């Protein structure tokens, strides 16, 4: 009887999940196995593997895959390095102050990706705020080109998805028993030893969760690469949009999306396995 009541309570959420995710995914998979007819959205009946064959045989697609993976990996690594000391700082504050800082961290996301990207667009222009400051203090002799480069896209992604790493890291840091850290320091362990032997291993679940969230967000990002990349940096999101909305090649765009869903699943699986192995080794 209790299980039936639980099912009824979950039914609205299950219906919404099926309606919003499962059914569109089914049509996406079905469309990826159809042929493309230029000039029309109607595909001829039949089943074809041509789209997937092109995805794995054309060197251009591999350059898009590798560029997307490279930008996502670099952005995730930079976010992890920047967010860890920030998370340590926040975790050491009192509850009320901690809530204030966490609100400040997530505040830029409230305005949406477009507002953030436009802010970075004005900042990273050839004679924008950043180049003007660097020129004024004499660090550079001529403006640096940020827009239309991987560096500019990575800067935008780092700022956009930093909160996704800070929150799980802060949660993991708050779960560490302070007595363990105090005991290690009492026994003569230095700051680096405490961090490498206690703090970082105990926060690996937060590192894994944040890394997966940020990496997937960077992989599927569209607004930031499209605006800051100036059409010169072709990544998964921009190419899928171009094929679907400009070329109207829905079969290829669908197969491209399915291929990247598989990549994201594999990346998540690898991170989960590595974290589980680290947890097992720490338990020994």
Q: What is the mean pLDDT of residues 141-170?
A: 87
Is a pLDDT exceeding 70 seen at residue 41? Answer: no
What are the sequence ranges of the domains in the chain? 58-106+162-283
Percent of the chain, pLDDT > 90? 3
Site of tokens 């039914």: 11
CA distance 249 to 241: 10
Q: Average pLDDT over the chain, rounded to whole?
A: 81
Q: CA angle at residue 271 from 23 to 117, to 5 degrees?
A: 70
CA distance 130 to 146: 10
Q: What is the pLDDT of residues 181-194, one digit of tens each?
A: 777 777 777 777 77
CA distance 143 to 131: 6
pLDDT confidence of residue 108: 79
Put simply, whether the predicted model's pTM sits higher than 0.85 gets the answer no
**CATH classification code of 58-106+162-283:** 1.10.3720.10
Contacts of 38 (CB under 8 A, 6+ apart): none
Is a pLDDT exceeding 60 seen at residue 283? Answer: no
Is a pLDDT exceeding 60 seen at residue 284? Answer: no
pLDDT confidence of residue 78: 93
Q: What is the pLDDT of residues 97-139, one digit of tens each?
A: 888 888 888 887 777 777 888 888 888 888 888 888 888 888 8
Q: What is the pLDDT of residues 198-250, one digit of tens each?
A: 777 788 888 888 888 888 888 888 888 888 888 788 888 888 888 877 778 88
Q: What is the DSSP letter of 141?
A: S
Q: What is the DSSP letter of 144?
A: -
Percent of the chain, pLDDT > 70? 93
Q: What is the pLDDT of residues 46-64, one digit of tens each?
A: 788 888 888 888 888 888 8
pLDDT confidence of residue 115: 80
Tell me the pLDDT band of 79, cut-offs 50, 70 and 90: very high
């Amino acid at each position: 009887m209790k299980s039936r009541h639980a099912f009824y309570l979950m039914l609205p959420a299950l219906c919404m999940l099926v309606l919003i995710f499962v059914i569109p995914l089914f049509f996406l998979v079905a469309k990826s196995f159809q042929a493309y007819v230029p000039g029309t959205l109607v595909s001829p009946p039949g089943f074809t593997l041509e789209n997937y064959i092109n995805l794995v045989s054309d060197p251009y697609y591999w350059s898009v895959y590798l560029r997307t993976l490279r930008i996502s990996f670099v952005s995730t690594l930079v976010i992890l390095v920047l967010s860890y000391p920030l998370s340590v700082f926040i975790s050491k504050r009192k509850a009320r102050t901690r809530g204030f800082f966490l609100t400040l961290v997530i505040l830029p996301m409230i305005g949406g990706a477009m507002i953030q990207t436009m802010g970075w667009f004005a900042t990273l222009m050839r004679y924008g705020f950043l180049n003007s400051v660097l020129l004024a203090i004499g660090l550079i002799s001529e403006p640096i080109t940020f827009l239309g480069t991987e560096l500019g896209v990575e800067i935008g992604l780092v700022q956009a998805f930093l909160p996704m790493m800070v929150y799980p890291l802060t949660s993991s840091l708050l779960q560490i028993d302070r007595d363990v850290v105090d005991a290690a320091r009492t026994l003569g362990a230095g700051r680096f030893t405490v961090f490498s032997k206690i703090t970082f291993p105990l926060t690996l679940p937060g590192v894994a969760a944040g890394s997966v969230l940020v990496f997937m967000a960077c992989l599927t990002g569209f607004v930031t690469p499209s605006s800051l990349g100036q059409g010169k940096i072709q990544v998964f999101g921009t190419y899928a949009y171009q094929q679907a909305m400009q070329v109207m090649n829905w079969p290829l765009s669908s197969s491209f999306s399915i291929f990247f869903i598989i990549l994201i699943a594999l990346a998540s699986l690898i991170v989960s396995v590595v974290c589980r192995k680290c947890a097992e080794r720490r338990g020994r």
